[in-house]
Structure 1
Amino acid sequence: MKKYAAILTDMEQKLSEGHYRPGAKLPSVRSAAQAYGCSTSTIIRAYGELEKRHAIYSIAQSGYYAVDRAGADSQQGESAQIDLSSASPDLNVFPYLDFQHCLNKAIDTYKYHLFTYGDSLGLDRLRQTLASHLAGDQVFANPERIVVTSGAQQALEILAKMPFPNGKKTVLVEQPSYKIYLRYLEAEGIPVRGIARGTEGVDLRELEERFEHGDIKFFYTMSRYHNPLGTTTSVEERKAIAALASKYNVYIVEDDYMADLGEERSFEPIYAYNRTSHVVYIKSFSKIIFPGLRLGAAVLPEPLMETFGSFKRYADTSLLSQAALEIYIKNGMYERHKSKIYNQYAARMRALQEALKRHNEAGLITIAGTSSGIYVQFKLPQTVNLDRLTKRLEKRNIIVVTSQGCYLSDYREREKFLRISISRVMLEQIEDGVKAIIEEVKRS
């Protein structure tokens, strides 16, 4: 990232996190240039951009001042609530103005083509851009094998319902796992079985046994930043899963929905290790931009393309949104925003780890070594009553999600934990939230 972009991102982040109160004066151009180690012209350019975004305002002969953030009063009124449950991106960092520019540019570029039905597989230029974008995650695919979906959820639902070339019927899911998908599979009556996943991943011997004898159509897994565990599988495990898929003709559905939130720059997904086209790779853009965008992408093996297309049938994703996303990615805005989000979440994750070190002396809560993504598993003693714990925390205005919905209904080998998310919690609230959770666990 260029120096100017990095400086602009840092300034914008400080403003969104409340480092400067509404009306507070920002450092002078000369002081800021010294602090960032750059020229005064770079600072003037950054301040000018922030002023265009209505984040600051200038007064002649005086300097630059912070603008009252939209919704700041309501946020202060809600500041007593500590939200450690929500997985949605922070409202304060939604790229409204950048994306508005991309929407306007898309209308100007594509004109009336945006208001037709379009291709059910997605806008051709977006699929070409995604081919280059995904290559950065070591997912190399021709645009013809990329399908734009209405979020990752649509792709997961289609894959669950459609027949696969291996003729098998059962979906194998990690336990615990993404609760919305588990409920969907059960509600639709799709044959589904669970396999335990702990902080070290799945038991590969058991996985091989299931692949060989379990009539497994596909294995649904999150190789990094697992929901709800927050953990990432090892290179060895990803390679082993890819090899087992080829050996037993079982497909892997790899949900890499948080691919852009991590520090593992050289991470290679299971997709990168499989040479027999047995991996479906799924990515979402909602966790980086905003949930309402409802855009995702699925990279499909050639044998699945026709069937997947017949189940998708029609273009159900806004062409305008697709065109705007193509411009957003192609012009570097996505990478810049990704860096901004990552830096913010990384600071919150560090604060969470540090708070645990200070308040968890008795070791009542066990966590895995998670440093990226948004989730952390707070593993609790089996004696803790989750319902009573969450009610007591709610009385203290602390909102958490428990493990209760993260398992299949008939799965018995369950652990008790809280799924902690740092996505929406304010940095300064983390210490109080962690301290309160530990105090309430002690009471259990």
Structure 2
Amino acid sequence: MAFKYEEVAKYIEMRIEKDRRGRRPLPSVRELAERFQCTRDTVLRAYRELMLYNRVYAVQHKGYFAVVDSSTASLARQAIDMATAAPDYRMIPYREFQSCLNQAVKRYERSLFTYEATQGLPGLRQIVREWLAEEQVYCGDEQLFITAGTQQALQLLSLLPFSAEKDLFVVEQPTYAGILGVLRMQKFCAVGVNRTMQGLEMDKLEEIFSSRRVRYFYTCPRFQHPLGTSLNRQERKTLVRLAKRYDVFIIEDDYLGDLAGKRFESSLFYEDMEDRIIYLRSFSKTLLPGLRLGAAVLPRKLAQEFANAKHWADLGASVLSQGALEIYFRCGMHQEHRIKIRRFYAEKCRLLRRLVQEQFGENAVWYVPENGFFACLEVKDQAKMRRVVEFLRSTSLCIKEPDRAYLPGYQYKQPLLPICFSTLGAAELTTGFQLLKAGICHLQE
């Protein structure tokens, strides 16, 4: 259930969208208090939140006005970002976390000037273990590490010593650009396997596992980055079976796990009975991007090597950030936040499905998930998709460059255009889809 000030803030946002020029004052505090049957303090909090994100400003004795970029005449001329996977600013719990930071300074004042445990603060690890167990991700204390985001975990995994017989990295294609950056920096030998709207090409994956010296296979089973698709339970069971048969470790990047409620398939880790899954969880995409904290659950046979690598990499993640996150969990704020963001992004997905039907009908093949950050559009072939991308570059729509999600020289690129909608409001999404439709129409000319 949304707080009253959030309802007021959404109404103000709606008024801002109606008056894009921002010439008229926004509703007064008294007017809004009467409309929503709330106190003036509640309305003032709503305005403060919007001022914090530079959406409104106050003029003494005149009221509140919308912040409008005078260099842009309309929303259609403003940049619409469908490329960046980040939380919507309206869902960032800035003030709540600020309070947790203040408490963490008092609670851990001595530790701020010393090095803490490499694995992470004991209190935070304990509560994260309990939280993960509720999601059927069970692990011992020696297996859990607090990292500087999942990106650090990927970097550390690439440094672990392996025998010469196991030197190949397999990644789904397309995939998260962060893992491709790690492979490029470490000069790993890597191959790809297609991930389509229909799922993962399991036959091809087994062929690679059985004939090559595979060390790791990297995958996003839920809300895949950048397609938005999720593997079903049969596919997850098959993956775990292949990992056991061919002695491969699977890196499960569950970066949007907070959006997976009971209606979604459980994690890949849940299917693992043979200690083959390396489970990664991020707090950046759904909480605070700048927090730079994540959790990694390692198989027991890799835990000590991972601990050694992490010790020499950073000696330990930020005590202040860890302490604040621990308090955020213990106060129940995180659970409330998860309920809110699941509802919030699910509503965006419903809007996307409506826009797809209105703008495209049966003339295009789309995948829009029930929740997540990404959707994808299928174009007829690579040559035509390049024409669509080139056309969209000339508009105000920023889209993810498809080639950046593939290994260099990968030959089997799919004509799928990833669309990230996580940061956009209803008006921006509507305009963005109009531009996408114009791109498809341009293709057909």
TM-score (norm 2): 0.86
Matches within 5 A, 1:30-429: 54-56=45-47, 68=51, 70-72=53-55, 76-77=68-69, 79=75, 80-164=78-162, 168-265=166-263, 267-313=265-311, 314-361=314-361, 363=363, 365-382=364-381, 384-386=383-385, 388-429=387-428
Q: Would the alpha carbon gap of residues 370 and 277 (structure 1) be closer, same or farther in structure 2, given more than 3 Å must change? A: same
Cα separation, 2, equivalents of 1:109 and 1:16: 36
Cα separation, 2, equivalents of 1:335 and 1:144: 25
Task: Note if contact 2:352-2:368 (Cα within 8 Å) is conserved in structure 1.
Answer: no
Aligned partner of 1:276: which letter? E
Q: Would the alpha carbon gap of residues 7 and 95 (structure 1) be closer, same or farther in structure 2, given more than 3 Å must change? A: closer
Q: Any idea what the Cα deviations from partners look like across 1:221-272, whole Å, max 9, x if unmatched? A: 1100001110000011111111221222211110001101234456321111
Cα separation, 2, equivalents of 1:92 and 1:299: 30
TM-score (norm 1): 0.86
Cα separation, 1, equivalents of 2:394 and 2:67: 19
Cα separation, 1, equivalents of 2:163 and 2:97: 40
Q: Any idea what the Cα deviations from partners look like across 1:312-364, whole Å, max 9, x if unmatched? A: 1243421000000011112111122222222222222211111111121352x
Task: Note if contact 2:373-2:422 (Cα within 8 Å) is conserved in structure 1.
Answer: yes
Q: How far did residue 55 of structure 1 move? A: 2.1
SS class of match (2:110): helix
SS class of match (1:415): coil
- Give the gaps of 5 or more residues in structure 1: 1-5, 34-42, 58-65
Q: Would the alpha carbon gap of residues 213 and 135 (structure 1) be closer, same or farther in structure 2, given more than 3 Å must change? A: same
Cα separation, 1, equivalents of 2:137 and 2:190: 28
SS class of match (1:111): coil
Cα separation, 2, equivalents of 1:436 and 1:207: 37
Q: How far did residue 285 of structure 1 move? A: 0.2
User: Please, which moves more after superposition, 405-414 or 199-208?
Assistant: 199-208
- Give the gaps of 5 or more residues in structure 2: 17-25, 57-65
Alpha carbon RMSD of aligned pairs, Å?
A: 2.6
How many residues end up aligned between the 2 structures? 416
Cα separation, 1, equivalents of 2:407 and 2:268: 24
Cα separation, 1, equivalents of 2:139 and 2:15: 45
SS class of match (1:226): coil
Q: Would the alpha carbon gap of residues 394 and 425 (structure 1) be closer, same or farther in structure 2, given more than 3 Å must change? A: farther
Task: Note if contact 1:230-1:376 (Cα within 8 Å) is conserved in structure 2.
Answer: yes
User: Please, which moves more after superposition, 380-389 or 173-182?
Assistant: 380-389
Q: Any idea what the Cα deviations from partners look like across 1:74-128, whole Å, max 9, x if unmatched? A: 8642743222111111223321110110011111222212321111111111100
Q: Would the alpha carbon gap of residues 221 and 126 (structure 1) be closer, same or farther in structure 2, given more than 3 Å must change? A: same
Q: How far did residue 183 of structure 1 move? A: 3.0
Task: Note if contact 2:349-2:368 (Cα within 8 Å) is conserved in structure 1.
Answer: no
Q: Any idea what the Cα deviations from partners look like across 1:3-23, whole Å, max 9, x if unmatched? A: xxx241x64165157145544
Task: Note if contact 1:225-1:258 (Cα within 8 Å) is conserved in structure 2.
Answer: yes
